[in-house]
Amino acid sequence: MKPTPLAQTQFLSAQDVATLVTRVGAAATLSRMADYIREDFLRWQDFDKCARVASHSAGGVIELMPISDAKTYAFKYVNGHPKNTQVGLPTVMAFGVLADVATGVPELLSELTLTTALRTAAMSAVAARALARPNSKILALIGNGAQSEFQALAFHHLLGIEEVRLFDTDPAATEKLLSNLAHTALRLIPCNSVAQAVRGADIVTTVTADKTNATILTPDLIEPGMHINGVGGDCPGKTELHADVLRGASVFVEYEPQTRIEGDLQHLPADFAVTELWQVLRGQATGRTHDAQVTLFDSVGFALEDYSALRFMRDAAQELGIGQLVSLIPELANPKDLFCLIRPSAKPVLRSAHTAAQALADLQELALAA
């Protein structure tokens, strides 16, 4: 019998990831995450893809988003409950796993609530770098909730956006954004209406949370050359754009089968032409062809982005020594002898004592630091 390899799982808590991002810096995190996403989108054909598996209820949705290449499997658990903020909980909460395809060992378990906001913003920037006019300087940001600061920073650091025009139906949300980004070089301009925010913008991001078929952008608001980054319409019955806004634009998507169900695209007939973004990134399809063209990224969030984000988190956590090991999987001297774990004469499993000691050391350090 060969010695048992460690089947331990690296765990990154919500606090671990916050520490990681603070230490790496928001700009560098977004930039590196965008690189990971782009790298994975460039090898799109390597992945076994499926639309997410959703469980809908009256108050929201819980989804599982699996994806795999030949080496690494990833999945994300994520909910969407628009009324959660009324009880003090985030609308979107998530966690995810990276596993080894060869053995099935779950190698990383990480929070993905904060990470999802970062990866969505990084994805928006990857798309906009391919689709928006070069030298875009002004962003309209409609919806100033939990994800908005990440969007603003991604466009600032990754595209050179200098001015962000803000609108939210909840003025407190806009106030929060103004306060959170006061330390940056961005010009932040609160607006009284969507129309005021959008007028003259190079890029428009919609990132609202209501689970309704809303019409936040109408065709009269769209100006030639704009790039529209539609983030909040990401679920059946949850849309943000008037169908004619899509009809008047060149529309790009992550994974077409999923976006047809979940994106703003759900209002258009099945033969409405769209282009998958990976094809543009690889040079196999045309993105923007001229300055007056309206481009639209109908973003719903695809499992591959979480795969990329988890890869980044694993690498960055290893660089910085963040996180701890947990025993999701039992350690067995003989892998066919699972019963030894509960045999009345069972001796303590030595590796667990090792784990406890290691975790203890980690936690003592954390307790001292807190």
Which residues within the stretch 20-79 sit at the binding site for a copy of itself (CB under 8 A)? Answer: 21-22, 26, 48, 50, 53, 55, 57, 59-60, 62, 64, 66, 68, 70, 73, 75, 77, 79
* Given 27, 178, 243, 326, the residue binding a copy of itself (CB under 8 A): 326
- Catalytic-labelled residue, pool 40, 168, 234, 306: 234
Give yes or no for residue 302 binding a copy of itself (CB under 8 A): no
269 makes contact with a copy of itself (CB under 8 A): no
What element of type H or E holds 216? strand 213-217
Binding mask 351-370 vs a copy of itself (x if CB under 8 A, - otherwise)? Answer: -xx-xxx-xx--xx-xx-xx
Both tokens assigned to 52: 């997410």
Nearer to a copy of itself, 95 or 252 (CB): 95
Helix ranges (H only) for the chain are: 14-24, 26-41, 113-131, 148-159, 171-180, 194-198, 243-247, 256-262, 277-281, 303-320, 350-369
Beta pairing, strands 53-57 & 60-68: antiparallel
* Shortest spacing between CB 170 and a copy of itself, in angstroms: 8
Smallest gap from Cβ 169 to a copy of itself, in A, equals: 12
Amino acid letter, 364: Q
- For a copy of itself, the binding residue among 101, 285, 292, 320 (CB under 8 A) is 101
As a whole number of angstroms, the distance between CA 132 and CA 198 comes to 15
Interaction mask 117-146, a copy of itself, x per CB under 8 A: x---------------------------xx
Q: Which of 28, 89, 285, 320 binds a copy of itself (CB under 8 A)?
A: 89
Element holding 7 (H helix, E strand): none
Cβ-based neighbour number of residue 33 at 10 Å: 29
Which CB sits closer to a copy of itself, 16 or 276?
16
**Stretch in the footprint of a copy of itself (CB under 8 A) among 155-163, 198-206, 294-302, 346-354:** 346-354
Closest CA to 191 of 138, 231, 117: 138
- Residue 40 is among the residues annotated as catalytic for this protein: no
Q: Which is nearer to a copy of itself, 42 or 89 (CB)?
A: 89
Task: Report how far residue 13's alpha carbon sits from residue 177's, in angstroms, rounded to the nearest whole number.
Answer: 25
Q: Is 13 in the site for a copy of itself (CB under 8 A)?
A: yes
C-alpha span between 37 and 190 (Å, rounded): 31
Instruction: Report how far residue 132's alpha carbon sits from residue 227's, in angstroms, rounded to the nearest whole number.
Output: 5
Least spacing, CB of residue 34 vs a copy of itself, in Å: 16
Nearer to a copy of itself, 244 or 362 (CB): 362
Say how many CA atoms lie within 13 Å of 363 toward its Cβ: 10
Tell me if 185 contacts a copy of itself by CB under 8 A: no
Residues involved in catalysis: 234
